[in-house]
Structure formats: C-alpha cells, structure tokens
Amino acid sequence: MYGLCDCNNFFVSCERLFRPDLVRQPVVVLSNNDGCVIARSNEAKALGIAMGVPFYQIQSLVQRNGVVVFSANHELYGDISRRVMATLRSLVPGTEIYSIDEAFFELDGIDGSPDLFGHRIGRTIRRDTGIPVSIGIAPTKTLAKVASKLAKRYPRLEGCCYMHRPEDVRKVLARFPIHDIWGIGRRYGRMFDTMRITTALEFVGLPEEWVRRRMGIAGVRTWHELQGEACIPFGEMAPRRQQITVSRSFPRELFALDELEPVVAQFAASCAEKLRGEGSLCREVRAFICTNPHREEAPQRQETGLVLRADPTDSTLELVRQARAALRQIYRPGFGYKRAGVLLSDIVPAAECQHSLFASVSDRTRNERLMKTLDRVNRTFGRGTLVVAAQGTEPFRTQQGHLGRRYTTQWDELPVVKAE
DNA sequence: TCTGGGGTCCTAGGACCC
DNA sequence: TCTGGGGTCCTAGGACCC
C-alpha cells in the first residue's frame, strides 16, 4: 500500500495560519510579479477563479466579491512545508517528499487498519501545524492520488480515503474524470476528448498496445497503475538534482545589456548557492533570455548561451563570470527582454568528482574557504549582504503588491499576540 | 497596462564508434 | 555488378508534474 498526504489549498492555508479572520473568506495567492493565480481557497474556487488565470483578468471579480489577495511568500510556505513534512515523518515508517505540499508515505508494519491510521495522520498534522491535509491510501501511487482527491472532494470521508478492493476501485474509476488522473496532462486530455473517452475506466479498457503507441512507456505505466499493479516505486532518498535553474520574468521589459548583466549575475549567484547546498559541482552554465511571447506584434527572440568548463566548480565568482559570458554570446540590442535565467547542468557530487589534471589544488581549497565564508556571512546577516560586484548594488525585485508577513522566519515579522 | 517558476522523463534522429 | 551490422551518446522537442 502507498499513502499520499496532500495539503489542501496549501499556499492559502499558510496565509490563513496567522489570519484566522480569513478562514471562510475567498482568498487567492499570486505568482511572481503578481502575474497569475497559483492557489485558491475553496470559496475562491466557487467564484469560478481558475488555476493559472492572469490576475488582471479577474480584477473586477475580486473587487466585487471581496477576494483577499496575497503575493507569493515562498519563505513562509517553505518553512510551513518543513513542519508538515517533519510531522508526517514522525508518524509513518518512511516518506518520499514529492513537492512542497505533497508526500508519499509507506505503511509497512503499521498497527491497525490503514483507514484509522490515515485519519490519525490527518488529525495530527492538522493539530500540530494548523494545515489541513487530505490522505489517500491505495495499492499504487496513481490510485493513492485518486484516493486523496476523493478525500478532498467528499466531506463525509473526513480527510482520508482508503481504497483497496478491486471492485471498489473499478466503481471509483467508472466515475473519475480521465483529465484528473496523475500523468494525464492537457495534451492527452484533449486527445481523449476527441475520442469521447471521459472516465479513467474507459482509458483502462483500451488495449495496452494502443496506449504504448500513442502515449509511450509513461502512459503504459499509468494504465497498469490504475489496475492496481504498482510500477512507480517508493523512493525515500531524493535523487541528486540534474539541473538547477533560477529565472524570473521582469516587471518591465529590459533592453540594454547593462541592465541584463547584473540581473543574470544575481541569478547565477543564487544557482551557485543552491549548488553548494546540495554538495555538488557543475560543468555546464547556460544563460537564456526571451522577449514577451504575449506581445505578438513585438519582435520575438529566445536564445540560450552555453559555457562549458573543463573543471567542475561551485564557485560563485566562476559561475557568475561564465553566466555573463553566455549572456554576451546571445544578447542582441533592439529587443525588449521580459524574462531571463541561468541554468546549471552536468552536475556531479563534490566528494566523488574527477578534477582536471591541470586544475590547481590550491585554487580549489582557497575557493572552498571563500565560498564557506560567503555562505556563512549571507546566512548570518541576510541574503545579499556579500555579493560579487557584477551583481550590482540593486537587488532584483519582482512586483509584490500584496505581500503578507514571514511570520515564522523573520524576527521583526513575528505575529503579535498582544500589543504593549 | 497587466500572462510564474522549477523540475523530470521519454523519444526520435543524427553523429559517431568499431 | 556487388556496398553490413550493432552499438552508444548527444540533443532538441515534447510530454508530464507541482
């Protein structure tokens, strides 16, 4: 059996934690630059606010209905996520963190019925963190996802759905929309629409060979998983990341290389910090820039520049230099750039790295000490305290007109229980 | 006026190897 | 006249996830 623990409307639930006055209110959380809706309370969903809709398109709806709006506050969400995951970990034999608001868990060797066990997990997380969750338990990961959605949908299940008997699974799949199955995205969804296939059970009724031809091996896996044959194993250890990206859209278009360079340098520095956080080194540095694809009348351009290193590194100095070199390869004047980013790849663990024969060992140890100090200074005194000159003096900011407080990670933003 | 960000995996085709 | 066979690696593009 596989369990899935899924936080309900996670970002909204985080914002509500210290604002109980928002509990029955419609609430939405926006993406960077206050661009799109990325989380909605049930009340906001009921108003017809869709996932991913551009904020400007719902402005009047928001005003008419008194929808409470927040800019994304990832520092808060990350901290609350760690608390939820830690609580879950203390209750189950093993966990696999799948995303900021979801984790699979094992049930091997638990006492009593999985159903009671699941309900206890839900109640405990709610009590200890304040975050409501939905629990699904089933013979495969894909079915556990289905079960957690049922737990969310039907209040009488009280937050947990245990689904295991084949005849029960069949009954559920007969009414479950194929669009909502894990692994079926927009593209396959449209394909099934044209075939008049609407339920998961109809999909399961297709011949395996057809599924393989049209959807590849991933589709076949989904097809088996829905029939109770587990194909996606439990993975407790997060595999080392294969790439690290930092990219942002800009509040306005940038035209000049002078404006892009410090921004790209900052993205590279963030990438380097993440890289060191994983204990890794990298050999490939890419920088990319693109114009605004929504402005169809404007000249469009989208390019990626690549710099390869002979010797893998985690040095902010080196990676910033190479990201700027990659940017200069691709930059052309006369375009309004709306988004840029830096991507690190060919990532290797620092401990097992084969260095170049000609690389200097003393340079490497000096870099290690320098980076350790850089990270310590920035951890102690705040991000951006110590930067490479190429990053400039102006930290990159996105538009955040509705930012809430970082209640749990900043001393001066702690919730006030009683004012003096 | 205003449209996010960070990932993974699979597949097909071409270059290249012996 | 007749022109092999079996591989690997890399990349771009497309699908998916949250």
> Which of strand B's nucleotides are less than 7 A from any protein C-beta?
1-11
Adjacency order of strands within the sheet including A133-138: A95-99, A102-106, A2-7, A133-138, A160-162
Beta carbon of A182 within 7 Å of strand C? yes
CB-based burial of residue A298 (10 Å sphere; 0-12 exposed, 13-18 middle, 19+ buried)? Answer: middle
**Predicted structure pTM score:** 0.94
Specify the pLDDT at position A304. 86
* Residues 46-65 of A with CB within 7 A of strand B: 52, 54, 56
The b-or-e profile of A107-117 (16+ CB within 10 A means b, else e) is beebeeebbeb
List CB contacts of A349: < 8 A, sequence separation 6 or more: A240, A279, A280, A281
* Residues 324-353 of A with CB within 7 A of strand B: 338-339, 341
Whole-angstrom distance, CA of residue A5 vs CA of residue A419: 37
**Tokens, residue A31:** 């993406």
Question: One-letter amino acid identity for A201?
Answer: L
The residue among A85, A70, A83, A56 whose CA lies nearest residue A22 is A70
Specify the pLDDT at position A277. 92
The residue among A232, A272, A284, A270 whose CA lies nearest residue A367 is A272
β A95-99/A337-349 pair status: unpaired
Beta carbon of A399 within 7 Å of strand B? no
Q: Per-residue pLDDT averaged across A104-108, rounded?
A: 95
Secondary structure (DSSP) of A297-321: TSPP-EEEEEEEEEEEE--HHHHHH
Nearest nucleic acid nucleotide to A213, CA to C1' distance: B11
Q: Per-residue pLDDT averaged across A255-276, rounded?
A: 94
Specify the pLDDT at position A294. 85
Whole-angstrom distance, CA of residue A16 vs CA of residue A150: 24
Specify the pLDDT at position A418. 86
β A27-30/A68-71 pair status: parallel
Beta carbon of A185 within 7 Å of strand C? yes
CB-based burial of residue A132 (10 Å sphere; 0-12 exposed, 13-18 middle, 19+ buried)? Answer: middle
Longest dimension (CA), chain A: 71
Residue A295 has pLDDT above 90, yes or no: no
A238 DSSP assignment: P
pLDDT band for position A161 (cuts 50, 70, 90):
very high
Beta carbon of A318 within 7 Å of strand C? no
Question: One-letter amino acid identity for A276?
Answer: R
Specify the pLDDT at position A293. 84
Whole-angstrom distance, CA of residue A43 vs CA of residue A306: 46
Question: One-letter amino acid identity for A118?
Answer: G
Specify the pLDDT at position A185. 93
Beta carbon of A210 within 7 Å of strand B? no
Residue A420 has pLDDT above 80, yes or no: no
Q: Per-residue pLDDT averaged across A346-360, rounded?
A: 83
Q: What are the angstrom distances between the C-alpha of A182 and each of A105, A148, A206, A303?
A: 17, 12, 17, 32
> Which of strand C's nucleotides are less than 7 A from any protein C-beta?
14-18
pLDDT band for position A236 (cuts 50, 70, 90):
confident
Chain position carrying tokens 């404007």: A298
pLDDT band for position A106 (cuts 50, 70, 90):
very high
pLDDT band for position A417 (cuts 50, 70, 90):
confident
Q: Per-residue pLDDT averaged across A286-305, rounded?
A: 86
* Residues 91-120 of A with CB within 7 A of strand C: 98-102
Residue A404 has pLDDT above 90, yes or no: yes
Nearest nucleic acid nucleotide to A32, CA to C1' distance: B4
User: What is the overall mean pLDDT for chain A?
Assistant: 93
Residue A98 has pLDDT above 80, yes or no: yes
Nearest nucleic acid nucleotide to A292, CA to C1' distance: B3
CA of A384 to C1' of B6 (A): 22
Q: pLDDT tens-digit profile of A355-393?
A: 877 888 899 999 999 999 999 999 999 888 999 999 999
Specify the pLDDT at position A300. 83
Q: Per-residue pLDDT averaged across A412-416, rounded?
A: 91
CA of A226 to C1' of B14 (A): 37
Specify the pLDDT at position A101. 96
State percent of chain A over pLDDT 70.
100
Q: Per-residue pLDDT averaged across A116-135, rounded?
A: 98
pLDDT band for position A26 (cuts 50, 70, 90):
very high
CA of A221 to C1' of B12 (A): 21
Residue pair A414/A315 in contact (Cβ under 8 Å)? The answer is no
Question: Any idea what the Cα angle at residue A63 is, between residues A62 and A64, rounded to 5°?
Answer: 95
pLDDT band for position A353 (cuts 50, 70, 90):
confident
Residue A354 has pLDDT above 80, yes or no: no
Specify the pLDDT at position A194. 93
Question: One-letter amino acid identity for A122?
Answer: G
pLDDT band for position A122 (cuts 50, 70, 90):
very high
CB-based burial of residue A327 (10 Å sphere; 0-12 exposed, 13-18 middle, 19+ buried)? Answer: buried
Q: Per-residue pLDDT averaged across A258-287, rounded?
A: 93
Whole-angstrom distance, CA of residue A262 vs CA of residue A248: 13
Residue pair A134/A8 in contact (Cβ under 8 Å)? The answer is yes
